[in-house]
């Protein structure tokens, strides 16, 4: 990254984290922690970090606002974290958010971005911070795998940076109780957000 570069994070409530009301403009989650990590390790970069997360969003919502919230801002790096709402709504019967439709819509976003911007792209896989202790959680974990695979496939196709957040959270569950990372399995605690921020920092800035 170069001095003054704009780094844009986009996604759902995990990215939003109160940035539109409780804690503008970056929220109180991983985006703000990422900015703090950069500021204390590489203050000379003076990165312009932008949070464009909106709670409840799916990949279809990102597609609807991609022009205004990403392309028009011409960032030098774009990080995308989307998918858990797609999973839950697909399980609830919304076929338009199936793994295949998710892949196709996500691919449109990447196609637009690579054509219009000269930017590094970081794709972060959706995650579910839970163990398969009951049928409901087993079902979500099983279906989520297909969305994670879609993001991994897109990353290969478009040669982007990639973080398998689901795998990283699952490894942490070998040592840390799920409630310490995300009590509802979806929305991270500060500790969970720190994992995301740290991984994004390593991917975009380096060790």
The answer to whether the CB of 130 falls within 8 A of the CB of 114 is no
Q: Which residues contact 85 (CB under 8 A, 6 or more apart)?
A: 12, 56, 57, 58
Choosing from 88, 164, 184, 207, the catalytic residue is 184
Is 159 an annotated catalytic residue?
no
Is 187 an annotated catalytic residue?
yes
Give the separation between CA 73 and CA 8, rounded to whole angstroms. Answer: 9
Is 13 an annotated catalytic residue?
yes
Owner of token pair 């794709």: 123
The answer to whether the CB of 195 falls within 8 A of the CB of 168 is yes
Choosing from 13, 17, 79, 155, the catalytic residue is 13
Choosing from 118, 159, 187, 193, the catalytic residue is 187
| Active site residue ranges | 13, 184, 187
């Amino acid at each position: 990254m170069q001095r003054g570069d704009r780094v844009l994070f986009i996604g759902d409530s995990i990215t939003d984290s109160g940035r539109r009301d409780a804690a503008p403009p970056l929220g109180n989650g991983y985006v703000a922690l990422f900015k703090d990590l950069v500021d204390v390790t590489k203050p000379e970069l003076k990165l312009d970090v932008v949070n464009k997360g909106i709670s409840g969003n799916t990949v279809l919502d990102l597609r609807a606002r991609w022009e205004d919230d990403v392309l028009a801002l011409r960032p030098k790096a774009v990080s995308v974290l989307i998918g858990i709402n797609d999973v839950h709504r697909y399980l609830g019967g919304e076929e338009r958010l199936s793994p295949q439709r998710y892949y196709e819509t996500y691919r449109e976003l990447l196609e637009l971005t690579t054509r219009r911007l000269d930017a590094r792209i970081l794709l972060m896989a959706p995650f579910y911070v839970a163990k398969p202790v009951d049928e409901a959680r087993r079902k979500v974990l099983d279906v989520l795998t297909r969305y994670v695979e879609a993001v991994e496939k897109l990353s290969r196709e478009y040669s982007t940076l990639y973080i398998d957040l689901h795998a990283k959270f699952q490894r942490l569950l070998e040592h840390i109780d799920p409630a310490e990372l995300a009590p509802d399995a979806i929305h991270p605690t500060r500790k969970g957000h720190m994992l995301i921020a740290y991984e994004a920092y390593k991917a975009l800035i380096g060790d």
